[in-house]
Each structure stands twice: as C-alpha cells, then as structure tokens.
Amino acid sequence: MLVNKKQKSNRILGYFLLGIMTSMIFFVYPLQADQGWQQLVDEAGAAYEKGEPAKALNLLKGAVELTLEGTEARAAVLNNLAIVIEANGDLDGAESLYTRVIGLWAQLLGSDHPNVARTLGNLADLNHRRGQFDDALEAYQLAIATIDTNNSLEVKGLKRAVHVSYAKLLRELGRNTEADQVLKKVFKRTQ
C-alpha cells in the first residue's frame, strides 16, 4: 500500500516505491533540503523493480550517506535498505536494520506513528518467513496495537495488510478461530 502523505510545505514530496513485502510497500518522503539522496532512492527503486537487488543495495547505501543522522529521511532510506538487504538474503542484517529503524521512527515520530507499524510489519513478515513464529506473532501484535486506534484513511490499507498477514500466520499455526476474528475485526472496521 502506498501512503499518500500530503504536506503543505515547500519541501519536495519524493515517494519511493521499493517493493512489495507481503502486501506492504514502503515510501520515502521529504525531510531534507538536499534531495540528492532522493535520486539515488529512485534509481534503487527502478533497479529493484528490474530484479537487480545488488544494484539497488549499492544505490541505497549511497543514499544513506547523503541523509542526515536522526532524520526521517535517514529512517525511511534505512527501512528501504533493510527490504533490499532481506531480498539479497542477509536476513540477520535485515532484522537488525528493521529493529534500528523501528527505534528511529519511534524517536522521531512517536511510538504510535504508522511508520512504526509498517516497519514492525516488515520485521514480523521476516520472522514469519524464517519460521520464528513467536517473534512474528509479537511483532504483528505490536504493529496492530500501534495503529489500532488510528482510523484515518492513511492507515486503512496498512491495517488491512498487517491484520491479513497476522491472520495468515494464525491459520498456519492452526488458530483458525482467532484468524477469523482478526479478519472480521479489520474488515468490519475499515469498509
């Protein structure tokens, strides 16, 4: 899902559609006057879409260097870098980076911000794929708790994606009744 966050400012909006990890797509938005990093992010997105994750990785590493430490731009680029690191097969590296990005988002935007939930969803998806089901359940539950009371249109797609992924894991664990309840809750609330 692409988050459409419109800001009334003179800063350039630069959305980066990097890839689909389950049903989530992540973005980069404006936070620094120097947008040189944005060109690298755009090129990385194109490389990733062409099936060139190694090239995307190198471009994103360059973009990280052009962002300022402790900014939303840095957090967003690092999140995208974690996705590409995961696609390149470095699951431990991706897990470490997702964890770091969750902390950055929480510090910069507050622990209840949708970006925290998005990255928690990424971490949950990674743990799910690795077969670390307890860790995946915990991350999905934290992501849901993070955005559960936010009923804005901006998070509607995010809520659905996280709930559907969580329900899928519950079904794999034989917890079908819980999975049904999770899906009823989110689809009833977001229709």
191 residues of the chain, pLDDT tens digit each:
223 233 322 222 222 222 323 223 334 444 444 678 999 999 999 999 999 999 999 999 999 999 999 999 999 999 999 999 999 999 999 999 999 999 999 999 999 999 999 999 999 999 999 999 999 999 999 999 999 888 888 899 999 999 999 999 999 999 999 999 999 988 875 55
Domain ranges for the chain: 35-110, 111-190
- Which CATH entry fits the domain spanning 35-110: 2.50.20.10, 3.40.720.10, 1.20.120.1200, 1.25.40.10? 1.25.40.10
In this prediction, residue 189 carries a pLDDT of 57
Report CA-CA distances (Å) from 109 to 59, 71, 117, 166. 26, 10, 12, 24
Contact 108, 44 (CB under 8 A): no
92-108, pLDDT tens digit by residue? 999 999 999 999 999 99
- Token pair for residue 34? 């120097």
Q: What is the pLDDT of residues 3-21, one digit of tens each?
A: 323 332 222 222 222 232 3
Distance from C-alpha of 60 to C-alpha of 40, rounded to nearest angstrom? 7
Say whether 111-190 and 35-110 share the same fold.
yes
Q: Please state, in angstroms and as integers, the Cα–Cα distance from residue 184 to each residue in 87, 110, 150, 181, following that order.
A: 32, 28, 17, 5
The correct answer on CATH 3.30.1280.10 for the domain covering 111-190 is no
Say if CB 75 and CB 101 are below 8 A apart: yes
Q: CA separation (Å) from 123 to 24, 50, 79, 84, 162? A: 12, 24, 10, 13, 11
pLDDT at position 34 is 61
**pLDDT of res. 96:** 98
